[in-house]
Amino acid sequence: MPHLIVEYSSNLSAYPEAQALAELNAAVCASPEVLDEADLKSRFVRNASFHVGTAASGRGFVHAQLRLLSGRSPEAKQDLAARVAEVLRRLTPRPAGVMVQLSVEIVDMDRPSYVKERL
Amino acid sequence: MPHLIVEYSSNLSAYPEAQALAELNAAVCASPEVLDEADLKSRFVRNASFHVGTAASGRGFVHAQLRLLSGRSPEAKQDLAARVAEVLRRLTPRPAGVMVQLSVEIVDMDRPSYVKERL
Amino acid sequence: MPHLIVEYSSNLSAYPEAQALAELNAAVCASPEVLDEADLKSRFVRNASFHVGTAASGRGFVHAQLRLLSGRSPEAKQDLAARVAEVLRRLTPRPAGVMVQLSVEIVDMDRPSYVKERL
């Protein structure tokens, strides 16, 4: 069931999205929390219209949101966030003169109302 | 107040977005939970950069997020999710050789801090 | 740590995104809740595929989501939402014949599992 959405600012040019998607999915699916690897649906979104803080330029970000059905332990959530962060830390471009922030957020999805099926 | 955001993987080509938006809004606005049909703000997002699980290809997804002010009963949430799922199940393309996953998520929005107005 | 995501329907043409980003960040960073201005990561997303309610046309929206680490007081959240709303109310285009809705949502992010670092 997990959904992984990675956004990044477009000044991180040449982001290796395909490689990152493959490595993120391998890392997350290796967690005991993911029972079926096919459940993980990941995507990248490039933000061309962004602004970090009050400085005019010289800053960028990559932010990942992992949405899981509710009920995971705090330890499991921290482990999953660490798996995502490890890949993004390694693969995110670091252009000269740009301060790049990395963040990973775990979101609980409401389990009783969740619909999931294969068409 | 509801917001409906539907994302889908770009291998579901020729997704009938306009038809789906009209039918989704009709289905959701027919719920007794929606007091004013004009409140429902829906949009489609096509994800061209995606990866499902650890397989290289042959998989796609459509995922809907319905964001509501908090306070709905579990039954109301399940009903709303079912309304969204019915439309997407019917209208989502099923390309040959692609395993397509459908999911619907209900999200509670914090009511006390929510701002809403017409300009 | 805050993330600000502003979506708007594409019938609000010529949205002054750059000006809005600068003014939003100035307004939010002036809050005592934001300890380091560089933490605020804001972006605009234009939705070209949208539908509001059951009317065929003549409606648009702008919606902002401010995602914060959990633990803020209700008053602090209301103040932050008001800061965002003030800027959007002032800068959102109001095309003739279009009823425009403005909304602002505050989202709590799970603090224990949140990862944040500078690369």
Residue ranges in chain A modelled with pLDDT below 50: none
Which of the 8 DSSP states describes residue C96? T
Residue B42 has pLDDT above 80, yes or no: yes
Distance from CA of A23 to the nearest CA of B (A): 9
Q: Tell me, what CATH number does C94's domain have?
A: 3.30.429.10
Which pLDDT tens digit goes with each residue over C3-54?
999 999 999 999 999 999 999 999 999 999 999 999 999 999 999 999 999 9
Q: Report the pLDDT value the prediction gives residue B56, as an integer from 0 to 100.
A: 82
Residue C1 has pLDDT above 90, yes or no: no
Q: Residue C102 and residue B110: Cβ atoms within 8 Å?
A: no
Rounded distance, CA A2 to CA C21, Å?
A: 31
Q: Is A61 on the interface with C (CB under 8 A)?
A: yes
Lookup: tokens for C62: 């702008």
The answer as to whether A60 is a domain residue is yes
H/E element, A75: helix A74-91
Lookup: tokens for C36: 């380091």
Q: Is A37 on the interface with C (CB under 8 A)?
A: no
Residue span of the structural domain in which A20 resides: 3-109
Q: Report the pLDDT value the prediction gives residue B7, as an integer from 0 to 100.
A: 98
The mean pLDDT of C83-101, rounded to a whole number, is 97
Q: Report the pLDDT value the prediction gives residue C19, as an integer from 0 to 100.
A: 98
The answer as to whether C119 is a domain residue is no
Rounded distance, CA C116 to CA C119, Å?
A: 10
Domain count for chain B: 1
The answer as to whether C115 is a domain residue is no
Q: Report the pLDDT value the prediction gives residue A56, as an integer from 0 to 100.
A: 82
Q: Which residue out of C3, C43, C62, C66 would a mutagenesis test of the A interface target, given it has the greatest number of A Cβ atoms within 10 Å?
A: C43
Rounded distance, CA A55 to CA B10, Å?
A: 35
ipTM of the complex: 0.95
Q: Report the pLDDT value the prediction gives residue C84, as an integer from 0 to 100.
A: 98
Q: Which residue has the higher pLDDT, B47 or B56?
A: B47
The answer as to whether A119 is a domain residue is no
Q: Report the pLDDT value the prediction gives residue C56, as an integer from 0 to 100.
A: 82
The answer as to whether A65 is a domain residue is yes
The answer as to whether C118 is a domain residue is no
Which residues from C are below 8 Å from A4, CB to CB?
A: none
The answer as to whether A102 is a domain residue is yes
Q: Report the pLDDT value the prediction gives residue C49, as an integer from 0 to 100.
A: 98
Q: Is C105 on the interface with B (CB under 8 A)?
A: yes
Which residues from B are below 8 Å from A17, CB to CB?
A: 49
Q: What percent of chain B lies above the pLDDT cut of 70?
A: 99
Lookup: tokens for A22: 């493959």
Nearest CA in chain B to C86: B115
Which of the 8 DSSP states describes residue B79? H
